[in-house]
Every structure is written in structure tokens, then in C-alpha cells.
Amino acid sequence: MMNEKEVVVITGASAGLGRAIAQEFARHGARVALIAREEERLQSAKKEIEESGGEALIFPADVADFDQLERAAAEVEQQWGAIDVWVNNAMVSVLSPVWEMQPDEYRRVTEVTYLGQVYGTMVALNRMKPRNRGSIVLVGSALAYRGIPLQSAYCAAKHAIQGFYDSLRAELLHEKSDVKVTMVQLPGMNTPQFDWTRNRMPNKMRPMGKIYQPEVAARTVYYAAHNPDREFKVGFPTLQAILGNKLLPLVGDWVLAKQGFQGQQSDVPEQPGRPDNLYEPVKGDYGAHGRFDEQAHDVSVVGWLGRHQAVPVAATVLIGLVLGGLLLRR
């Protein structure tokens, strides 16, 4: 029996993109289960949803621990019924050259950013596959296709998610399963992650290139959960990075070698010893947005076209008809 209201689980949901995704689902009437490590921030996100008329549950948990995710999922279903949508969003990173990275930092980024999505997917599949319904969204990045300097651990994790997703999608198609899985590739987002990511560079972090508000990506994540095509891209820089790496990877190497270091740093010096969230969450009530509101864009044409695919199809057909008519007149 279907839930009266859609039941959605979101990891990394206490701040940043995850918080914006939770707000987007709640705005559409879904019951939203929020998973993250920092309980105070989870409470704030829950209150925000409830004040807007939505319903939320919170689960302080580390996505690197499969058992914690399993317990959260079991409690969600005990209270609300079957999970309809699972969104894998949690991540951590380190801004550092490879030669300054520590082995445990690679391990931790891999456990959270890659295995956190694998574990979340497994927990969701354990429930969705026997019912033969449900939707799983993996939150990716342009960096799943094109690695950039100073983020080797994060880029490798996103590459790994892409490979995991390809395998899983083929397996579900092989079984003719009605469980749907999709992946959303993102550009630089205006989220608080740039104030709590571990940083070995002299200046404060910033997103590289054009910056988008988290709500831009949240709209596509919501759409992807209900229209699970193979892949969705948000932002022209994402499309540019993916296509550029396929066509001219050597040019990408050269451009990123020249621009990738300075492009990920602001002009403001980093605070020595600043707390980071690699192993423990940084305290504070961070919302969905970071400190780049004045620079961030509210709309992505690429994302909009992905959600309105009939428009480019219709335009292509119209252009074809016009060209065909011109040729027939000759």
C-alpha cells in the first residue's frame, strides 16, 4: 500500500545542499527524514521544515557507518512506512596538494563521500527491491568526470560513485526492476562547505568558476527523483567540464594547472587552526547558503532544460521542419 505522503530520506541534510533538498521535498508535501552528524543543526533544519507546514524526523548518524544508516532507515519505516525516495548527498573534502595529504585523510574522504553513498544505496535497496519500487538519487559533481588540483580525495570519491552507479543501473535494468536510480552532476554551489572543509592552502576556499545557489540543484534533485533519467546536469560549467574532458583532456590539464590553485582560493587569508568537519561536525547553525550570496546564480539554463526536455526536443523538431521546408522549396 502506498504512503499517503511521500517518504524521503536525505543524507547530509543539516546544512548546505542537503538542507535545500530537504526544503524542496517538504515544499512538495513530502515527509522528510534528515540524516547528518550534528544534532543541533538537524533540530534547526527540522524546525524550519515544520514551521513551513512540513513533517520531519532527524537521525544523528555518520554515513560512513552502515549500521547507523540501517538503524535510521528501520526507524523511518517504523514511524512513516515505506521509504519512497533516498537521496545520497553527504560529503567531506580536503583542499591540499597530494604530497601534503595524510593517508587517514584519503581514507576518511573515501568512507564518507564514496562509501556513504554506497551504504545509503544498499540500505535503500534492501527495502525497495523486495517491493519493486522506489527511487535513489546519487549526488555527483562535474568532478566525477574531471579531476581538479587540490581535491584529489574528493574527485577520486566522485569518480568512484560514477563507476558504482554505472554498475548498479545496469544490474537493475538486467533484472527489469522498477526501482529507479539516477545521478545528478553539480557545479560549484554556494554552501557552507567552504567554511568547514579542511584547508591547507594560505587563503580561504571558494567554489571554482560560476557559483549557483543550492536551491538550483535542489530543484533538479527533486525532479530527478520522480523522473529518473540516466543523468542530470546542473550548470553550464558542469556540461563544459564533462564535454571538455571527453574532447580535449590535455587542454583541461593545462588550464587547471594554470588556474586551478588560485581559482579555489579567495583573497582572504585562512584562519590558522580553523575547525574542520573531516572527523567531527563543526558546531553552529549553518543554513543552506554559504558566504557567496552576492555572486551566486539563482537559475541554471542547463538544469532547466534537463527538467523540461520536451522543449529542446520540440525545438529540434521545429528546426528540422523549417530546414526541410526550405530544402523542398529549392
Predicted confidence at residue 317, as pLDDT, reads 44
Beta strand 180-185 with 231-233 is parallel
CA distance 108 to 203: 23
Strands (E), 219-286: 231-233, 265-269
> What pLDDT digit, counting tens, does each position of 207-227 carry?
999 999 999 999 999 999 999
CA distance 305 to 86: 24
Active-site residue set: 154
Residue 1's pLDDT band, with cuts at 50, 70 and 90, is: very low
Q: Is 8 helix (H, G, I), strand (E, B) or coil?
A: strand
Q: Cell numbers 552576492 label which residue?
A: 294
CA distance 295 to 240: 20
Q: Which of 103-112, 211-220, 316-325 has the lowest mean pLDDT?
A: 316-325
**Sign (positive/negative) of CA torsion 258, 264, 266, 268?**
negative
CA distance 255 to 247: 14
> What pLDDT digit, counting tens, does each position of 233-283 carry?
999 999 999 999 999 999 999 999 999 999 999 999 999 999 999 999 999
Please count the other Cβ atoms lying within 10 Å of the Cβ belonging to residue 50.
12
CA 37 to chain CA centroid, nearest Å: 17
- Amino acid identity of 34? L
Q: Which of 40-49, 92-101, 251-260, 299-308 has the lowest mean pLDDT?
A: 299-308
CA distance 305 to 125: 30
Predicted confidence at residue 300, as pLDDT, reads 72
Residue 323's pLDDT band, with cuts at 50, 70 and 90, is: low
Q: Cell numbers 550534528 label which residue?
A: 38
User: Exposed, middle or buried: residue 329 (CB in 10 Å: 0-12, 13-18, 19+)?
Assistant: exposed
pTM recorded for the entire structure: 0.90
pLDDT at 315 over 80: no
Percent of the chain with pLDDT over 90: 88
Predicted confidence at residue 305, as pLDDT, reads 74
- The answer to whether the beta carbons of residues 76 and 61 sit under 8 Å apart is no
Q: Cell numbers 523511518 label which residue?
A: 76
CA distance 111 to 86: 19
CA distance 54 to 117: 26
Domains and CATH numbers, the chain: 7-299 (3.40.50.720)
CA distance 127 to 75: 12
How does the average pLDDT of the chain come out, rounded?
Answer: 93
CA distance 232 to 225: 11
pLDDT at 157 over 70: yes
> What pLDDT digit, counting tens, does each position of 8-42 carry?
999 999 999 999 999 999 999 999 999 999 999 99
User: Exposed, middle or buried: residue 284 (CB in 10 Å: 0-12, 13-18, 19+)?
Assistant: middle
- Amino acid identity of 72? A
Please count the other Cβ atoms lying within 10 Å of the Cβ belonging to residue 81.
15
Please count the other Cβ atoms lying within 10 Å of the Cβ belonging to residue 251.
11
pLDDT at 327 over 70: no
- The answer to whether the beta carbons of residues 202 and 267 sit under 8 Å apart is no
- Amino acid identity of 6? E
Q: What is the largest CA-CA distance in the chain?
A: 73
Strands (E), 245-301: 265-269
